[in-house]
Structure 1
Amino acid sequence: MMHDMDKYPGYWIRRIFRIMNVIYDKELSKYNLTSSQISVLFNIWNKDGITQKEIQEKLNLRAASVTGLVDTLCDKKFITRIQDVEDARVKRLYLTEKGTEAEKLSTDIIKGLESIISSGLTEDEKVIFVSWLKKAYNNFYSMDK
């Protein structure tokens, strides 16, 4: 049985993730967005015209989940669906002006969160902290493949 959970890195990573998400969602709600919707937008910011299937694969989500997020973003006028000119079965996702503006809003919120998480750390400590997190991620990533 595991006692003294606060001795385990995973415990703290999970707590940090949860509180960051709560704060991120609270800030995004001012703009009628959620962190899940931003995850979809992030992929479109990186590749305007991406397909829903590509987003599904990148986010490792079920098709129905991505469809719901995309529908909501279309309804809120952050993105638009346009039929592919070469394959009528494929719909591509494009940013609207509102969707483009959301990138700056999201980036500003993330910068604020990054400032909080690294508060009190030296530049060297930040580099070490990020390297540890990357190692932990890669440990899990290699197990998942």
Structure 2
Amino acid sequence: MDFCNIEGVYQSFIKVIKVHHQYLHIILEKLDLYPGQPPLLFTLYKNDGLSQREIADKLHIKPATITVMLTRMEKAGLITRRQDEEDQRISRVYLTQKGREMCEELKKVMADLNEKCFGNFTEDEREIFKKLLEKMAENIEKAKDK
């Protein structure tokens, strides 16, 4: 593969990631969110009351990073932390009403972004693209394990 060739598949892949990230950042900035916050919000939306450790495990993020994210989100009024009723050493995280409303807004934003990305793809093209990305991820996972 010629990595100096700007028209190569790898360069196209990187370009898509870059423009998607830039566009998503613009959208999230308008909502006063940071890029790592939507996955955390959606995790709590589905499983409210998780411990910080459980959130870190689900998102594959270090607990210290989760602590920083939660502090920022608590200040923004999106989440609240409460001690576990059975084990006072555990802090549980819950969405506030504002956090739930933000999740609803994010669902709309993500659906719109999805439509912008794939609006002119046929269903077959979407399915093929999904399979190719999954295959790519498998290839990388296999390489990591060697």
TM-score in same-fold range (> 0.5): yes
Change in 2 beyond 3 A, CA 1:54/1:29: same
- Give the secondary structure class of the aligned counterpart of 1:35: coil
Change in 2 beyond 3 A, CA 1:125/1:93: same
**Which TM-score applies when normalising by structure 2?**
0.88
Aligned twin of 1:6: 7
| CA displacement 1:3-46 (0-9 Å, x = unmatched) | 1143134x333322222122112112222112211121121112
1:88 aligns with 2:88: yes
CA distance in 2 between counterparts of 1:132 and 1:120 reads: 18
Aligned twin of 2:32: 32
| CA displacement 1:85-122 (0-9 Å, x = unmatched) | 11111101101001101112111111111112113211
Count of residue correspondences: 144
For structure 1, which runs of at least 5 residues remain unmatched after alignment? none
Aligned twin of 1:126: 126
CA distance in 2 between counterparts of 1:127 and 1:102 reads: 30
Moved more, 75-84 or 125-134: 125-134
CA distance in 1 between counterparts of 2:80 and 2:31 reads: 18
Change in 2 beyond 3 A, CA 1:46/1:86: same
1:139 aligns with 2:134: no
CA distance in 1 between counterparts of 2:12 and 2:46 reads: 30
1:98 aligns with 2:98: yes
**CA RMSD of superposed structures (Å):** 1.8
What percent identity do the matched residue pairs reach?
A: 28
- Give the secondary structure class of the aligned counterpart of 1:6: coil
- Post-superposition, which runs of at least 4 consecutive aligned residues in structure 1 deviate over 4 A? 142-145
CA distance in 1 between counterparts of 2:141 and 2:92 reads: 29
- Give the secondary structure class of the aligned counterpart of 1:116: helix
Letter in 1 for 2:3: M
